[in-house]
Amino acid sequence: MSRRPPTDAVASEHDATAGGGDETPPTHACDDEPGTFVLEPTTLAHGPDAVGRHEGRVVFVPGAAPGDRVRVRVVEQHGNYARAAMLHRCAAGPAYREPPCPWVGACGGCPWQHVDYTTQVAAKERNVLESLKRIAGVMPRRPLPILPAPSQWGYRHRIRLHTDARRALGYRRPRSHDLVEIGHCAIAEPEVSALLPALRTLVAALATAIDDVEIASNGRGAVVIDMAARGRFAERDGATVQAWLSATPGVAGVGLRGRDWTRRFGETTLTVHASPDAPPMTQRLGSFTQVNPAGNRLLVRTVVDLVDSGAAVLDLFCGAGNLSLPIARVAASVLGVDQDAGGIADAAASARTAGLGTVRFETAAADRFLRRRGLGGATLVVLDPPRTGAAQVVARLARLRPPRILYVSCDPATLARDVRALAGAGYAVDRVQPIDLFPQTEHVETVLEAVLTAR
């Protein structure tokens, strides 16, 4: 990958396309072609596609924006819907903008770049509520307007890249193992994106077979590298990495790891500032962090504002304490639980450094903890599971019946699936707060409050 253009130049281009500049939207002759039809999408799906209707059937098409007029060809037939490929854009709608990334069509990592940001966040808010209604059969008592991201470009503090047999470095094509080599990443923090040329040099020089590479800003003005490898570590690579570190400004450390080995060079810890009024947290390389630091602070503030001062909180899937530690400043007590022993060790160390005596942490899978310990005296359960949701954990919570649950989710469909189980157990959905942590993509974070109403 080559060095990205200057950040200010990229931002200016984005502002011009998003802000209704003087350029005429692209159009194309919409001549009839056998096996094709013209579609006018009206909305964005919870997925990378725009959605329209043709002859009574729902049609999903990537690359289009609501209000566009596009000629498409069906590529997948299903019962009551179809998927189509866009052949060309006959006329651009008011939501369309020229995507700034030249690899957007091949990479697929940011499939909404061609849609203006106001339309993006409106679609995410609608998709959260529609998923709750369609899948869970519920509507929140107090739906809250979506919180936009503080910045829609250059927001990711970490990106994960892949390699191939040629030692090329890039992203995967959608639904494929093919590699797309890109010159820069418009949604990565500038210092992360700027490191790509030097990183390509390092990967090519290593004898160890590298599969994946994660670049992350460490929260202290530098970058750290985490490499996942297959096979054994080639010991001669130690000198190669050390020399590369010495010659590459702005890189604090490099980690390499295989199935049963780990090597660390330099300083590889991360500092996370989850809340402006709380001490920073220190995490080891490879532990989970939200990709959008500024957006994460919105998330943390949202959750903390929903915690009562006298609450006894059980934080499931707590990781390194992203929510537990800020919550501990307002709640009566906090118990954080996660199966990742390294994350729990980091969380406990951060609590000691901050002098937080009301929070403690245990290493356990969430479902196993609930089976053995129940709620542990908690009056409020917070859970922040992975994208797949927490079906078994929620089923157990439905039987244990805590008075309140705060469910943090990055997937509206699995959130709605789990909320359906809670609704069946007598919970009402009170507040729902969508937060955009992932601009230019279909993904959205949601904080949902469930309150027990039936005894």
| Helix ranges, 164-236 (H) | 190-193, 196-205
- Look-up: residue for tokens 């570190």? 245
Helix (H, G, I), strand (E, B) or coil at 273: coil
8-state DSSP, 134: I
Of the candidates 47, 237, 36, 215, the one whose C-alpha atom is nearest the C-alpha of residue 131 is 47
The torsion angles phi and psi of 90, rounded to 5 degrees, stand at: -70, -45
Eight-class DSSP state of 47: S
Structure tokens at 442: 């279909």
Which strand (E) or helix (H) includes residue 8?
helix 7-18
CA contacts within 13 A on the Cβ side of 27 = 9
Going 282 to 247 to 263 to 164, the CA torsion angle's sign is: positive
| DSSP element (H, E) containing 399 | helix 391-400
Active-site annotation holds for 410: yes
Chain CA centroid to CA 452, Å: 29
The residue from 107, 110, 185, 410 that is catalytic is 410
Classify the phi-psi angles of 202: left when phi > 0, otherwise alpha if psi is within -120 to 50, otherwise beta. Answer: alpha
Catalytically annotated residues? 410
